[in-house]
Structure 1
Amino acid sequence: MEQPNLNYINELSGDNFEFKNKLIGILKKELPIEIAIYAEQFKNTNLILASQSVHKLKHKISILGLEKSYYIAEEYERNLKKNTTNLEPDFENILKIMQEFVNHL
């Protein structure tokens, strides 16, 4: 499986370490909250709301350079809208990898 990276954040921030740290801080703050919201919606089988959370999380997936994972999330979002949970284990794995990476920043 692909690994998260800071390439996009580094590209955005250039030599501005203050801006880079601010972006990382936002990731560290928002990612666990967004994952928790998604998990609660999924647990309550509110798949439409869960799909909206997946949509928001796709942006974090993209920021962390997970190109293949982005397409999995996109397909999973469509599945949830169709009331099916296909790809849920794959998406959960993506979230776990992202969370572990962000926790170590």
Structure 2
Amino acid sequence: METPNLNYINDLSGDNEEFKAKIINILKRELPAEVEVYQKEMQKADYNQAAQAVHKLKHKVSILGLEKSYYIASDYEDNLNDNSVALKSDFESILKAMEEFVIQL
């Protein structure tokens, strides 16, 4: 499994530490909220709404440098739109890794 990293954020921010800090703070604020939305929709088995939550989370996957995981998230989003939970455990493992990484920032 890939490991979340700050490579994309570092490239994007260059030497601007203030900009980098803002991006990290946005991640710290938005990621837990978006994961919570996803989890609530899954508990309700509202797969269309869960797919929308996954769509939003895909951007965080990309920002944290998880290139292969992005494709898993994308396929999982498609699965949810087809009322299938195939790849659920893979996607949720990605979310867990992302949350653990962001907490440490």
TM-score range, shorter chain: over 0.9
- Indicate whether 1:79 and 2:79 are aligned: yes
Runs of 4+ in 1 over 2 A off after TM superposition: none
Query: How far did 1:101 drift?
Result: 0.1
CA distances 1:23-61 after superposition (whole Å, capped 9, x unpaired) = 000000000000000000011000000000000000000
Structure 2, gaps ≥5 residues long:
none
Identical aligned residues as a percent: 62
What whole-Å deviation, never above 9, does each CA across 1:57-84 have from its counterpart, x for those lacking one? 0000000000010000000000000001
Aligned-residue RMSD, C-alpha: 0.3
In the alignment, structure 1 segments of 5+ residues that lack a partner are none
Is 1:104 matched with 2:104?
A: yes
Residue 69 of structure 1 is matched in structure 2 by 69
The 1-side partners of 2:73 and 2:14 are apart by 28
Q: TM-score, normalised by structure 1?
A: 0.99
